Amino acid sequence: MRAGKGSAAPASDGTDRNASAFQGVALGREPPGLLRAGVIAYSDAMSASGAEPGSPSAGPWPGKAYQGSEITVYFDAQRCRHSGECLRGLPEVFNGRQRPWIAPGAASAALVAEVIGRCPSGALHYQAPGIPGEQPDVPATIGAVEGGPFLLRGDLRIQAADGWVADTRAALCRCTRSVRQPFCDAACAAPEPPGPPDRPEEQRP
């Protein structure tokens, strides 16, 4: 996916993907802040760490599995940033007012997979015998949500506290307050803790 400055690249169905959030900056040279957060492009990450390369669309995926007859949907609640792409894209499958809230069999597996690919945080993934795995965007892109996380798409290798994570989509912390570094945990949505009180002026005689 190649996006122009200030806009999102269109999704395969012609709609804009995260149009208000993406800035369309290619990851040819990662900003120093991202390197400190543990994000390195694929070739650099593998050569620097010696980690075994893995397909970002292979799984197995963390989170709860919702199994249908043609597709299994995986949802990692800790990665979800509530962008609503799934709810708007396929409400008959993704419906927060019903339990279970994901009904994989309520639409074709191909359509479910397509809507899952719109999830910017990587909270949703799928496995389906008859459908190819999600292909990463080329070139990789990074955007910033105002007052929120960095959004990345591409062939990603992310160094987390418990090891390397291979993925095609991720929302990464940029407020530095997340306890799940480098992933966003919505700490940016909470009020900032108060700073130290102002130092009182010296009393004069």
Question: What phi and psi values does residue 89 have, to the nearest 5 degrees?
Answer: -75, -35
Q: In whole angstroms, what is the distance from residue 84 CA to residue 124 CA?
A: 12
159 or 153, which is more confident: 153
Predicted TM-score (pTM) of this structure: 0.68
Ordered alpha helix ranges (H), the chain? 32-37, 42-49, 85-89, 109-116
The DSSP H or E segment spanning 169 is: strand 163-172
Q: What is the pLDDT of residues 4-26, one digit of tens each?
A: 333 334 443 433 433 333 333 33
Give the whole-angstrom CA distance, residue 132 versus residue 60: 15
Q: State pLDDT tens for residues 36-68.
A: 344 444 334 333 334 444 666 666 788 999 999
CB 66 within 8 A of CB 98: no
DSSP secondary structure string for all residues of 26-75: ETTS--HHHHHHTEEEHHHHHHHH-PPP--TTS-PPPSEEEE-SS-EEEE
